[in-house]
Amino acid sequence: MDSLVIGVDSSTQSTKAAVVDAASGRLLAVGRAPHTVTGEGGARESDPEQWWAALAEAVAAGLREAGAEPAAVTGIAVAGQQHGLVVLGSDGRPSRPALLWNDTRSAPQAVALTDGLGGPDAWLRRTGSVPVAAMTAAKWRWLCENEPRVAAAAAGVRLPHDFLTERLSGAAVTDPGDASGTCWYSTATGAYDAELLDLLGVDAALLPEVAPTGGTRVGTLTASAADTLGLPAGVAVAAGTGDNMAAAVGLGLGAAGLLDHPAFSLGTSGTVFAATRVRPATAALAGFAAADGHGTYLPLGCTLNCTLAVDKVAALLGLDREDAAPGGEAVLLPYLDGERTPDLPGASGLLTGLRHATTPQQLLGAAYEGAVFALLRALDELPTATGAGDAPLRLVGGGSRGRTWVETVRRLSGRAVVLPRTTELVALGAAALAASAATGDDPVALAGVWRTGEGETLPPVEPDRATLDRIAAVLDRATPALLTTQGHR
């Protein structure tokens, strides 16, 4: 019987469970289950118990679709949405809904934390990142100030993937990749930073242990988890990681694979990242660690507004998402949920450049252009090795399957674009971590053998400088006003 592994992608909107042949990396099936996100204004919350129920539902659906025997499964790993704050009570269960990465209520706390350590450079030296509303540290401070009884009664503090891994294995554990998105873990030392924990008011005893890698075997399924999932109790459980780190593994980015080759992830949020040996030190990026355990970094720029924002504009115009044309003179900055890169958590969408001749299709095209432009600005901040500055962009996420997204990236970037044949790269990266936990093999090297990051390469085209310059001019004029209205200095 072939050995199978399960890679779980627990994202903002849903859980996917990929059933994968451990030897070849062949994707046999993907089970799915939805999540519910609640909140108005800047609030975005989910019940972590819902994630656990969705994980069980997705695993069962994946095994059923694959026609696989549960006894063939040898490993499982979870890749989760980053930064979310899960607070556990004394019974080990969540004491309130999780604060999600895109909850922007903690923007004032992020500013205060930045000042509290002496400014952005002090944070960059220690964590590689400057606090923004998305970071877990800012959310913890928000909780302490707004729900002090909940914070004082906390018996555990977890990230989303930590919570699920603990449900699977009983082990309170995280990995360097996801831990590096908290702003209380130091990428300089590879450990929690005691001074930052004191500044934040976080007891180190509340935090999970940091495993050496995301593929580290942290145990096996507990009897309860095995019963819930319908799997053998001896299945190896990996430490797991954050969703962006798992996508990098799935693409084969890391010390055992490609270095300094950038990826664009076009999903609810947009991200641009690369695995590099260079420890980043710029406030424009989150200076994450990778999940591979080889001292690799994963500098990343993240925008809150990507496919979801563009789809909203399409719905407002009554258009299909592919019924778009280049924006012409119109510029649309789609900051419908505030923005993270640039750091404008209180911003709203901005439309300018309308003419009598402007068409609805051009307005939709302008929304695509605004979203892609934000990612390209983050791309410019990535540290790259000599000769890799013009490496092809690897497009992943739901948007990578959309013709207009692909062509907008090509037209504005002027770079070649790789479209991996495999679409579920976060889940496949998690599957490689699961296989690593079961066999001890390097997960990035496994992904290389599986060839999950390979696909069609589209040649470069001449960059649309006029559109790039037009959007840049609007953003540069608008940013001071946006900062002023949000109370930034």
List the catalytic residues.
243
Hey, what amino acid is at 117?
L
Q: Which residues of 338-348 are buried (b: 16+ CB within 10 A; e: fewer)?
A: bbbbbbbbbbe
Burial environment of residue 459 by CB neighbours within 10 A (0 to 12, 13 to 18, 19 or more): exposed
The encoded tokens of residue 161 equal 């993937």
Q: How far is CA 184 from CA 123, 195, 199, in A?
A: 10, 9, 9
Q: Of all residues in the chain, what percent are helix, strand and coil, respectively (each to 5)? A: 40, 20, 40
- The full 3-state SS of 384-451, as one line of letters, equals CCCCCCCCCEEEECHHHHCHHHHHHHHHHHCCCEEEECCCCHHHHHHHHHHHHHHHCCCHHHHHHHHC
Q: How many CA atoms lie within 13 A of 461 on its CB side?
A: 13
Q: Which residues of 64-80 are buried (b: 16+ CB within 10 A; e: fewer)?
A: eebebeeebbbbbbbbb
CA-to-CA distance for 293 and 358, rounded, in angstroms? Answer: 51
The set of long-range contacts for 65-71, using a CB threshold of 8 Å and a minimum separation of 24, is 65/19, 65/28, 65/29, 65/30, 65/31, 66/4, 66/19, 66/28, 66/29, 68/4, 68/19, 68/28, 68/29, 69/1, 70/230, 70/231, 70/232, 71/1, 71/232
Q: How many CB atoms lie within 10 A of CB 413?
A: 23
Measured in whole angstroms, the distance separating CA 395 from the mean position of its chain's CA atoms is 14
Query: Which uninterrupted H or E stretch holds 217?
Result: strand 217-220
Q: How many CA atoms lie within 13 A of 248 on its CB side?
A: 35
Angle at 322 between CA 320 and CA 323, to 5 degrees: 65
Q: What residues does 338 pair with on adjacent strands?
A: 336
CA-based radius of gyration for the chain: 21
Q: Could you tell me if 441 and 435 are in contact, meaning their C-beta atoms sit under 8 angstroms apart?
A: yes
The encoded tokens of residue 288 equal 């994450």
Cβ-based neighbours of 3, under 8 Å, separated by 6 or more: 21, 22, 23, 72, 74, 438
